[in-house]
Structure 1
Amino acid sequence: MNRLSLKIVCTFLIATLLGACYKTATQTEKIQQERQISTEANPTSGWTQTSYTYGIQTPWDQPQSNRYSYSAGEHHFWIYAGDACQFEGCTTGPRSELRMNNNYTSGKHQFEGDVYIVSGSAGTDIMQVFGGATNATAIMLKIHAASSGTIKRYDNETLMTNAYNKWIHVNVQHDADNGKIYVYLNNALKGTYADRGDATHYFKCGVYNISGTRSETRWKNIKYWKNGPVGQ
């Protein structure tokens, strides 16, 4: 075999091997993607979307527009250290929050929305299920400054790190009949928790309390769901 023929054969073999490797890698990536998609939950499957009304709570001593705005489907909430609470004489921390008017004491209820947490927000509750027998709330999702933004249940279990400056999909299911709360972030179940007792409950989101200088969240696609399967 002359040099030209040998070169042609070698080139063919190399191309064949590279093509096989590329095909194998592509197939592997596709399988991994399919597995990832198949393991994602659909927290609202089997639930009934329900209309709701809401109110906005901001520091009592200044115009609402100083701490809240709404535009193009996005609610913007922000507070500063030293801000007042929502009404004169109250002793809670500063807040700029959407209070959903969905009071309930029984049944299955679900909050859904997308949140963008601005970097620097710290010591701040971004979503809560209000009402409890042993505490004022059934659950709070709280942003901490560590690890580029860490979402925790209160100051306890870590639910997500690297949470700053990106949209995060949030679902919180509350089975009030059985006292259980299920928290999903980006369609992954992050934890199941006791709801701290029977009470009148409702959903809130925005910013409440602060340990830094300024806290801000942006919320969109906020929905209310009722009566579906929990913890799927």
Structure 2
Amino acid sequence: MMKYYCKRFLWLLVLNFMMFNDEYQYNNKLCVLAAPTDGFVQVSLSQSNFQLQKPYDQARQNRYSNSNGVERFWVYSNDKPFKQGSPTKPRTEMRISGYDYTSGVWQFEGNFYVPSGTTGACIMQVFGAANQATTLQLRVYDGDLKVYRSQVVASNIYNRWFKLNVIHDVGNSRLTIFIDNSQKVVVGGKGASNFYFKYGVYAQDGSSNYMESRWSGIKVFKKN
């Protein structure tokens, strides 16, 4: 009788393990399928695709560095604009060139870090819109990442690394924002234009005197 119960107990253990393993694999597969980049193809980026915009009177190394794959952007609220005569606020931004688009579904991916104290600064843009300069700006205000000044995408972001994915579906006039592979915000587009991605730091109203963001792992994808 004891042998019978021992065998039955062992069989139940094996059965439970098999069920757990199947469920784990199934859930794992679901997680993989839900990745923001599923169905997209990564485009090739070289150094020529990255164009730095900085205060026109400053040398590159005075507002930008790249060490061990981490790009650091910083700017001051009293800096000059990126070109003489421009009415825009100070910035140190990277403009991704060579992949401007007017249609299709495109995606930006990058890891970002914002040190405490930076506020009133845009750290990522989808440039281009029908009646204004941008379709999307992701700004930092008092430690929160927001769509312009309204919807909160992520809170308490200071001094931490995050993975950002932004999908722009031009045909459906929709932008979807992910933080660490989790969908956070969906917003509407702002009309037809020639679009491109930018990242770095760009002063906005109410900015701190010093603004900084750091980036790594920049990628661009296009949907098949």
* Same topology, TM > 0.5: yes
2:223 to 211, 219, 227: 227
* Other-structure match for 1:150: 144
Residues 63-118 of structure 1: per-residue CA shift (max 9 Å, x gap): 11110011111110001110111001101010001100121100110000000111
* Other-structure match for 1:49: 42
Whether 2:117 is the aligned partner of 1:120: answer: yes
* Other-structure match for 1:28: none
3-state SS in 1 of match to 2:39 = coil
1:59 to 55, 58, 67: 55
Correspondence 1:128-207 to 2 at 5 A: 128-145=125-142, 149-207=143-201
3-state SS in 1 of match to 2:61 = helix
CA distance in 1, matches of 2:100, 2:126: 10
2:67 to 55, 67, 71: 71
TM-score for both structures, normalised by structure 1: 0.79
C-alpha deviation, 1:134, in angstroms: 2.3
Residues 108-158 of structure 1: per-residue CA shift (max 9 Å, x gap): 10000000111111000000100001221010100011xxx1000000101
Please tell me whether Structure 1 or Structure 2 has the larger radius of gyration of its CA atoms.
Answer: 1
CA distance in 2, matches of 1:186, 1:75: 19
C-alpha deviation, 1:191, in angstroms: 1.1
Any unmatched runs of 5+ in structure 1?
Answer: 1-30
CA distance in 2, matches of 1:125, 1:195: 18
C-alpha deviation, 1:36, in angstroms: 10
Regions of 4+ moved over 6 Å: 34-37
Correspondence 1:29-48 to 2 at 5 A: 41-48=34-41
1:218 to 210, 214, 222: 214
Any unmatched runs of 5+ in structure 2?
Answer: 1-22
CA distance in 2, matches of 1:121, 1:214: 7
TM-score for both structures, normalised by structure 2: 0.82
Give the alignment's Cα RMSD to 1 decimal. 2.0
